[in-house]
Amino acid sequence: MSALVLPPSLPVVETFGPTVQGEGPSAGRLSLFLRLGGCNLRCTWCDTPYSWDAKRFDLRKEITRVPVVDLAEWAAAHPHALVVITGGETLLHQKTDGWRSWMAVLRHTTRRVEVETNGTIVPQPVTLGVPRLTFNISPKLANAGDDEDRRIVPEALAALAELSHRDRARFKFVATGPDDLEEIAALVERFHIPPHAVWVMPEGTTAERTIDVARSLAEHVIGQNWNLSMRQHVLLWPGERNR
Ligand SMILES: Nc1nc2[nH]cc(C(=O)O)c2c(=O)[nH]1
Ligand code: SF4
Ligand SMILES: [Mg+2]
């Protein structure tokens, strides 16, 4: 009797789009989103707890194994869109057959790909080998609530910072107000992140709060020679899933 061989798949929370990338260097760009399940952090203000929080959500319902061939077909139907892989924490899946197979699909296209990550996991050759793939790294600050030794993994941040010098990675920090900027500056200095690779974005789940926080940050961010990003999906579709 031969063993049953399952096709490579990934634990998918949702696929959506085309929409626009809401955050960071590609904000406003037409995008498809693939959200994977599971996270190694527990940010208090997480906007996607349904991707990892088994206490509040039934993850067997939230997360479905989707064959990579189906993802390839879905992506191919929207050839003009940037592909954004988000979570949860995406790079948790890096050593799986599903990830390897998905990277192989993307490597054989000419499309742009962005991987959202919390910066706690070192990117591996399987991911780095996709030519137009860049990382959007959101290291978490004290405002997220986790202990520093969980949020800040020096080995991973150093590897990602190195990529940021070659425009393969950008850092995007969520700030709740100007008081958070000192902590960002300390990380930027410690890991030698070039200012052109730094984006600051306002925390908030409503358009009003997002704009208020952004207004409180703008002059300070510009003064540091950093970039400021709104969170366009929060402004356009506050509280909605699959946007
Ligand atoms: N439009 C849109 N842009 C996004 N950028 C990062 C997102 C995320 O949830 O990681 C996100 C999202 O959920 N929607
Ligand atoms: S790292 Fe991202 S997905 Fe994970 S808990 Fe924090 S905000 Fe949520
Ligand atoms: Mg997110």
ipTM for the assembly? 0.98
Among the bound ligands, the one closest to the CA of 239: 1
CA 87 to ligand 2: nearest atom: 3
Task: Give the tens place of pLDDT for each residue, 125-136.
Answer: 999 999 999 999
* 177 annotated binding-site participant: no
Binning pLDDT at 50, 70 and 90, where does residue 4 land?
confident
* 21 annotated binding-site participant: yes
> Which residues are near ligand 2 (CB < 6 Å)?
39, 41-43, 46, 48, 87-89, 118, 140
Confidence check: pLDDT of 1 > 90: no
Cα three-residue angle 92-110-20, rounded to 5 degrees: 65
With the most atoms of ligand 2 within 8 angstroms of its CB, the residue from 40, 48, 136, 171 to mutate is 48
Distance from C-alpha of 127 to C-alpha of 95, rounded to nearest angstrom: 10
Centre of ligand 3 to C-alpha 13, Å, is 12
Centre of ligand 3 to C-alpha 48, Å, is 6
Task: Give the tens place of pLDDT for each residue, 111-161.
Answer: 999 999 999 999 999 999 999 999 999 999 999 999 999 999 999 999 999
For the segment(s) 9-236, the CATH number from 3.40.50.150, 3.40.50.2300, 3.40.50.1820, 3.20.20.70 is 3.20.20.70
Task: Give the tens place of pLDDT for each residue, 30-82.
Answer: 999 999 999 999 999 999 999 999 999 999 999 999 999 999 999 999 999 99
Is residue 137 within 8 A of residue 167, CB to CB? The reply is: no
CB of 48 sitting under 6 A from ligand 1: yes
CB of 23 sitting under 6 A from ligand 1: yes
With the most atoms of ligand 1 within 8 angstroms of its CB, the residue from 233, 236, 240 to mutate is 233
CA 237 to ligand 1: nearest atom: 1
With the most atoms of ligand 1 within 8 angstroms of its CB, the residue from 86, 240, 242, 243 to mutate is 86
207-232 residues labelled b (16+ CB within 10 A) or e (exposed):
eeebeebbeebeebbeeeebbbbbbb
Per-residue H/E/C for the chain: CCCCCCCCEEEEEEEEEEEECCCHHHCCCEEEEEEECCCCCCCCCCCCHHHCCCCCCCHHHHCEEEEHHHHHHHHHCCCCCEEEEECCCHHHHCCCHHHHHHHHHHHCCCCCEEEEECCCCCCCHHHHCCCCEEEEECCCCHHHCCCHHHHCCHHHHHHHHHHHCCCCEEEEEEECCHHHHHHHHHHHHHCCCCHHHEEEEECCCCHHHHHHHHHHHHHHHHHCCCEECCCHHHHHCCCCCCC
